[in-house]
């Protein structure tokens, strides 16, 4: 029925509205998904970055060994880790605040003795009271149900190989003569071998494959929580920090020289250790951390 103005009535308008709604799923299906970020595994050291209570300063270290608290890693917003890998919750990977990336470390749960081997690929955790973050898969295999006392030991040999193979050699703006073949001939049997001109050699890349999702059983370790407020060359300085922040002075590593450790604790649980770490910052000590002894 035509209206007085010459347009169709409300019945046809409702039909048009319904047809438009029916087209919405089709239009949505035509939208393209965002392209996945490009994966480019590489050696990464990076600049200083801000945590929740100060800055972290990455440095190259191949003999890293420390105790502290581990936490669970969350997916990076970009989907890529700091060293250019695609992050996966099922990967045997983790994050560290300062070590070069990638690096291979073993993590031992000091409460149950389980050990996992992971590749560090990202920066974190931002909380200075935690020394490492593990992917959900690695954390599950380690038996972590909450933040957990751990021991972290770097595999020096493998980590060095990764660094040497993945580091990019900066381009040189120098015109150099092409390297030809060099033939070495043995004086004893007349055999020869050719060196140089090996076009198959790669110096700036290495395949970074996944580590097996397994764990091994080791022994349980100490579980006492302490705050390491610092290591000092003089006992007077150490005593001053201990008096100001409520710690104890211990003589450490006599073979190296006069080094004195200032420790707070032990603490009954993680919450108490976290509170003590916050107090240590308030009394003027920077760089204190939670350790397990």
pLDDT of residue 168: 54
- Tell me how far apart the alpha carbons of residues 131 and 45 are, in angstroms, rounded to a whole number: 17
Say how far apart CA 54 and CA 285 lie, in whole Å. Answer: 12
Place of tokens 């690695």: 138
Terminal Cα-to-Cα distance of the chain (whole angstroms)? 88
Note whether residue 12 is domain-resident: no
Residue 38: the pLDDT is 80
Structure-token pair, residue 76: 């990076």
Pair (149, 290) in one structural domain: no
Averaged pLDDT for residues 136-162: 97
Share of residues in the chain with pLDDT > 70 (%): 71
163 within some domain = yes
| Same-domain pairing of 84 and 215 | yes
Cα–Cα nearest to 248, from 191, 206, 293, 190 = 293
Q: Is residue 181 part of a domain?
A: no
Question: What CATH number does residue 284 fall under?
Answer: 3.30.70.1070
Q: Do the beta carbons of residue 85 and residue 121 sit within 8 Å?
A: yes
* In-domain check, residue 127: yes
Residues 130, 268 within the same domain? no
The verdict on 52 and 87 lying in the same domain is yes
Reported confidence tier of residue 252, pLDDT bands at 50, 70, 90: confident
Residues 110 and 238 occupy one common structural domain: no
CATH number for the domain harbouring residue 56: 2.40.40.10
Residue 52 lies in a domain: yes
Quickly state the pLDDT bin for 152 (edges 50, 70, 90). Answer: very high
The answer to the question of residue 179 being in a domain is no
Show the tokens assigned to 88.
């996966």
Both 125 and 216 in a single domain? yes
Domain identity same for 216 and 80? yes
**Last residue of a domain, which of 220, 254, 283?**
220
Which residues are paired to 182 by β-bridges?
Answer: 195
Q: What is the pLDDT of residue 24?
A: 52
> Which parts of the chain fold into alpha helices (H)?
10-30, 136-141, 156-166, 235-245, 270-282
Pair 84, 41: CB distance under 8 Å? yes
- Report pLDDT for 104: 97
Residue 189 counted as domain residue: no
Indicate whether 251 and 146 sit together in one domain.
Answer: no
Residue listed under structure tokens 């007077």: 236
CA–CA dist 229, 237 (Å, integer): 12
Chain centroid offset of residue 272 CA: 26
Q: Are residues 95 and 134 in the same domain?
A: yes
Q: Which residues face 101 on adjacent strands? A: 44
Do 216 and 266 fall into the same domain? no
SS3 call for 26: helix
- Same domain for 46 and 150, yes or no, is yes
Return the percentage of the chain with pLDDT > 90, whole number: 64
Note the pLDDT tens digit of each residue in 53-98.
Answer: 999 999 999 999 999 999 999 999 999 999 999 999 999 999 999 9
- The pLDDT value recorded for residue 3 is 46
31-62 pLDDT, tens digit each: 556 666 788 889 999 999 999 999 999 999 99
pLDDT tens, position by position, 128-146: 999 999 999 999 999 999 9
What pLDDT shows up at residue 29?
A: 52
Average pLDDT over the chain, rounded to whole? 82
Number of domains in the chain: 2
Distance of alpha carbon 179 from its chain centroid, rounded? 40
Query: Domain check: are 79 and 42 in the same one?
Result: yes
Residue 241 and residue 63: Cα distance in Å, rounded? Answer: 28
- Residue 282 belongs to domain spanning: 224-293
pLDDT of 204 higher than 90: no
């Amino acid at each position: 029925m035509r209206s007085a103005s010459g347009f169709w009535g409300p019945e046809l308008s409702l039909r048009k509205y319904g047809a438009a709604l029916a087209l919405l799923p089709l239009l949505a299906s035509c939208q393209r998904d965002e392209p996945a970020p490009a994966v480019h595994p590489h050696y990464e050291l990076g600049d200083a970055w801000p945590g929740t209570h100060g800055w972290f300063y990455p440095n190259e270290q191949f003999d890293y060994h420390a105790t502290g608290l581990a936490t669970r890693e969350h997916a990076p917003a970009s989907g890529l880790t700091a060293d250019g890998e695609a992050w996966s919750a099922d990967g045997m990977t983790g994050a560290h605040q300062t070590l070069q990336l990638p690096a291979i470390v073993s993590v031992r749960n000091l409460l149950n003795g389980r050990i996992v081997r992971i590749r560090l690929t990202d920066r974190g955790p931002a909380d200075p009271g935690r020394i490492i973050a593990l992917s959900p898969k690695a954390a599950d295999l380690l038996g972590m149900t909450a933040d957990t006392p751990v021991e972290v030991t770097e595999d020096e040999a493998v980590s060095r190989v990764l660094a040497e193979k993945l580091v990019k050699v900066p381009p040189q703006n120098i015109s150099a003569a092409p390297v030809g073949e060099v033939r070495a001939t043995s004086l004893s049997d007349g055999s020869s071998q050719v060196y140089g001109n090996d076009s198959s050699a790669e110096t700036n890349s290495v395949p970074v494959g996944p580590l097996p999702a397994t764990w091994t059983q080791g022994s349980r370790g100490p579980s006492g929580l302490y705050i390491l407020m610092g290591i000092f060359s003089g006992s007077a300085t150490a005593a001053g920090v201990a008096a100001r922040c409520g710690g104890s002075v211990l003589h450490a590593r006599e073979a190296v020289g006069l080094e004195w450790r200032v420790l707070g604790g032990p603490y009954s649980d993680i919450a108490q250790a976290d509170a003590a770490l916050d107090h240590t910052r308030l009394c003027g000590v920077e760089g204190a951390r939670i350790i397990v002894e």
